[in-house]
Amino acid sequence: PYTYFTSDELHLGEISLECSRAGASAVALWATHQLMPPVVNGQFATDLEKSRSAALKLYEKLSSNENFFPIVKPETDIVTWGLKGKCTSHMSELAHAFFKKAEENSLYLSLYKYPTSKLNNPDFDIDSEYLVCLRSSLMKPEHEDWLEEIWDRMIASL
């Protein structure tokens, strides 16, 4: 599900070299470490820390908002969330609509199918095998500085 991109149109991520392709992650890691060696408190470590910090801040915003719910607390720079609703099928429809509206607001997200069997004590009905969620990768250190703008675009996409 991580590499599955749900789009009716051809997307650059489906036809280009990126880290989700076999072998590309090893090349990407090697190239990254050539440019930014993994040194404690170095530039690479600082950038990773800022990206994770941005993800945790977004997670907190999602947790305190009445329209969203985060799926799991992020361990990396990837945040996954759903839109609140009465049942999973309706919530999945809301996620698709939000995805389109977000793109209109120049906020580029991914859709993610999360198995409903992994949801713990939900306060909504489960009427589908998967819940379509939204996923954001805050992989640039600048995302921490842009978080308020990102959040404003998310709210505008409701």
pLDDT tens for residues 3-57? 455 566 665 555 555 555 567 777 888 888 898 888 999 988 999 999 999 999 9
Picking from 77, 54, 59, the residue whose alpha carbon sits closest to that of residue 69 is 59
Name the token pair of 73.
């607390």
Which residues face 69 on adjacent strands?
82
In this structure, are residues 119 and 69 in contact, taking their beta carbons and an 8 Å threshold? no
Picking from 122, 111, 64, the residue whose alpha carbon sits closest to that of residue 88 is 122
* pLDDT band, very low/low/confident/very high, at 114 (cuts 50, 70, 90): very high
Name the token pair of 58.
């977004």
pLDDT at position 121 is 82
Q: Return the residue matching tokens 């009445």.
A: 66
In this structure, are residues 20 and 2 in contact, taking their beta carbons and an 8 Å threshold? yes
Q: Is the pLDDT of residue 136 over 90?
A: yes
Q: What is the pTM of this model?
A: 0.80
Q: Which residues contact 110 (CB under 8 A, 6 or more apart)?
A: 5, 6, 134, 135, 136, 137
